[in-house]
Amino acid sequence: MQIRITTDSVNKDAALILPIEKNGHLSAVLQQIATEFDLDSQFLELDFAASAKEIMPVQGNTPTGKIRMYLLGLGENPTFATWLQVARTFFHNNRKKLPLQLQVAWSFGNRPENLPLAIEGICNGFCLGEYKIGRFKTGDDQVSTQVETSLEFLVAPSEIAQAKTSAQRGQAFAETQSTLIDLVNAPSNYKNPIDLSNWALRSSEKHQFTVRVMEKAEIEKTGLHGLLAVNRGSEYPATFTIMEYIPNGPVLKKVGLVGKGVTFDSGGLSIKPSANMHFMKSDMGGAAAVFGTLEMAAKLKLPIHLIGIVPATDNSVDALSVKPSDIISSYSGKSIEIIDTDAEGRLILADGLSYMVQNYQPEILIDLATLTGSVIRSLGYVAGGLFSNNEELSKDLISAGQRSGERLWPFPIWEEYGEMIRSDMADVKNFSGKPMAGAITAAKFLEHFIHDHTCWAHLDIAGVAMSDTEFSMQKSATAFGVRLLIDFLENLD
């Protein structure tokens, strides 16, 4: 998509898009539009309530001819997430019939309170709306013949500079998010641990950060026993990817991110039921969020020293697979009793977290993982679960979630939950064995491996990494976490 910011006037050969909020000015806005384009304001008011995602195509009149217009409803008090979502759904659902030239105008009393935010959201949304999920289809409709759409924002001269920055940000996010969505949607036979590492390597060639990939032999030498245990049953060797972004100027904070990179989770010997097993190709949504955050931090040149770690493997059934009752070691040296081989994410994260703390000493430590079905039963597909030992970090992450539209909701991590994963034979067990508080006991397990770090948060994104989107009939990838974390990092002081 080609995005332009100009002070031009309305061009009747383009489709005119008018985003409109539902507020006390609605009637006045519609009247102004009616006057300008010679329409009947009474009908307009009857037909268009400006509810969120409401779309009304209208044929307007200009002195030189007819013009296609779309009134885009935003509902009341639109947030950043509203702008993004409305734009994305509109463009995705109408892209086949829209002309190649689009204009967005604000000069009819419809100027939003925060124009830069609106422009960023619309650009992010339109660019994401171009996403096509069917990249493995072979039919004609997949051959891209489409010429690039041009999206033009008509603004006042004083607004140009700010609007350009916002548009570029929106587009930059969308580009990163689209590649992550492809990665998370990719089936496991197109996505081995090495493919995850290669994603990071390729990204680092284009952006200013470095990547080191540990392969099997080095993982063994390093003693990442949690990762090795999960990888035992796999035909593909595990990888352990370390990304590091160091800003050119002064460094505000050092932040460590760890993402779960399970490329397919069959459950292992504690095998999952088959009905929803195909969704387990996306058990690397945490890894994707970490990749995307590193890439965006580098693109935006954030003043943050950022380290990202992604342990990657699949969780498969094999004669060599780790078995329930096995006792394994970990990078931290602590022993772990395996009760359920389907609680594999926490084993690889344990090593990721330990390795991060012991080798990089970040001031803030955050891990992201599609970790439990339990968090989905608690929060549905609406928010990620937040587990933290630090009040301020927790507050800041929740605020970032609210602003970015990638919401988090806090859970307690009281010591009683820790009791539930005490093991008779080892330092800790990987599952309580009880069908309760599963997301919290998972967090308590991870807490064993942060080496008393005092500013840690675990984000369980099982419900939000995949959800209903306009791209597919089934749940599909969202790239959840990138907007959230970048917002969080940009607001650190």
182 binds, among Zn ion, Mn ion, ligand BES, none (CB under 5 to 8 A by kind): none
Least separation in angstroms between CB 438 and ligand BES = 5
Please name the residues in contact with 248: beta carbons below 8 A apart, sequence gap of 6 or more: 301
367 forms part of the interface with Zn ion (CB under 5 A)? no
> By C-beta, is 120 or 283 nearer to ligand BES?
283
Active site residue 254: no
Interface with Zn ion: number of residues (CB under 5 A): 4
**Per-residue tokens: 57:** 């195509």
- Helix-helix angle 193-206:285-299, to 10 degrees: 10
Distance separating alpha carbons of residues 227 and 344, to the nearest angstrom: 9
Can you name the residues that pair with 212 across neighbouring β-strands? 242
233 binds Zn ion, rule: CB under 5 A: no
Residue in the shown chain whose Cβ atom is closest to Zn ion: 265
With beta carbons less than 8 A apart as the criterion, state whether 343 and 430 touch: yes
Q: Is 159 in the site for Zn ion (CB under 5 A)?
A: no
Nearest alpha-carbon partner for 365 in 443, 452, 455, 287:
455
By CB under 5 A, name the one of 120, 152, 182, 265 that touches Zn ion: 265
353/442 with CB nearer Mn ion: 442
Of 222-230, 240-248, 257-265, 316-324, the segment contacting Zn ion by CB under 5 A is: 257-265
Under 8 Å between Cβ of 92 and 124: no
- Return residues touching Mn ion (CB under 5 A): 265, 342, 344
Q: Which residue lies nearer to ligand BES by CB, 110 or 185?
A: 185
Q: Nearest distance from residue 348's CB to ligand BES, in Å? A: 10
365 binds, among ligand BES, Mn ion, Zn ion, none (CB under 5 to 8 A by kind): none
Pairwise CA distance, residues 449 & 354, whole Å: 5
Half-sphere exposure of 321 (CA within 13 A, CB side): 23
Contact 489, 306 (CB under 8 A): yes
Element (H, E) at 201: helix 193-206
Specify the stretch interacting with Zn ion by CB under 5 A; choose among 99-107, 170-178, 337-345, 351-359: 337-345
Q: Which residue is nearest to Mn ion (CB)?
A: 342
345 makes contact with Zn ion (CB under 5 A): yes
Q: CB 328 → Mn ion: shortest distance, Å?
A: 16
- Out of 159, 182, 283, 337, the only residue in the binding site for Zn ion (CB under 5 A) is 283
Which one, 124 or 374, has the nearer CB to ligand BES?
Answer: 374
Least spacing, CB of residue 425 vs Zn ion, in Å: 24
Q: How far is the CB of 326 from Zn ion (least distance, A)?
A: 18
Among the listed ranges 15-23, 126-134, 343-351, 468-476, the one in contact with Zn ion (CB under 5 A) is 343-351
Question: What's the min distance (Å) between Cβ of 372 and Zn ion?
Answer: 8
Report the half-sphere exposure of 37 (CA within 13 A, side-chain side): 26
Look up 202 and say whether it is catalytic. no
Using CA of residue 315, residue 318, residue 323, residue 328, what is the dihedral sign?
negative
Q: In the complex, what is the shortest distance from the CB of residue 319 to ligand BES, in angstroms, rounded to a whole number?
A: 21
Residues in region 58-77 near Zn ion by CB under 5 A: none
Q: Which of the following is catalytic: 12, 216, 253, 272?
A: 272
Q: Which of 346, 403, 407, 429 is catalytic?
A: 346
Residue 227, SS3?
Answer: helix
- Whichever of 265 and 337 has its CB closer to ligand BES, that residue is 265
CB-wise, 103 or 372, nearer to Mn ion?
Answer: 372
Whether the CB-CB separation of 400 and 492 falls below 8 Å is answered with: no
- Region of 216-224, 283-291, 428-436, 447-455 interacting with Zn ion (CB under 5 A): 283-291
Cα gap 65→302, rounded to integer Å:
48
Q: Quickly tell me which residue has 């599963």 as its tokens.
A: 438
Residue 293 CA, distance from chain mean position: 9
| Neighbour count for residue 419 (Cβ, 10 Å) | 11
Cβ closer to ligand BES: 259 or 438?
438
Taking CB within 5 to 8 Å according to partner kind, which of Mn ion, ligand BES, Zn ion, none is near residue 479?
A: none
- Other C-beta atoms lying within 10 Å of the C-beta of residue 355: 24
Q: Which does 21 bind (CB under 5 to 8 A by kind): Zn ion, Mn ion, ligand BES, none?
A: none
Min separation Cβ 262 and ligand BES, Å: 6
Neighbours of 163 (CB within 10 A): 23
In DSSP terms, which residues pair with 456 in a beta bridge? 365
Q: Which is nearer to Mn ion, 344 or 367 (CB)?
A: 344
In the complex, least distance from residue 187 CB atom to Mn ion, rounded to whole angstroms? 18
Q: Which residue, 347, 123, 319, is CA-closest to 238?
A: 347
Indicate if the alpha-carbon torsion angle 107, 108, 113, 118 is positive or negative: negative
Comparison of 272 and 334: residue with beta carbon closer to Zn ion: 272
Torsional class of 451: left (φ above 0), alpha (ψ -120 to 50), beta (otherwise): left
Q: Which residues bind ligand BES (CB under 6 A)?
A: 265, 279, 283, 340, 342-345, 370-374, 376, 431, 438, 462
Burial of residue 372, with CB atoms counted within 10 A of its CB: 0-12 exposed, 13-18 middle, 19 or more buried? buried
Q: Between the CA of residue 470 and those of 93, 131, 184, what are the distances in Å? A: 8, 10, 16
The residues assigned a catalytic role are: 272, 346
Residues that bind Zn ion (CB under 5 A): 262, 265, 283, 345
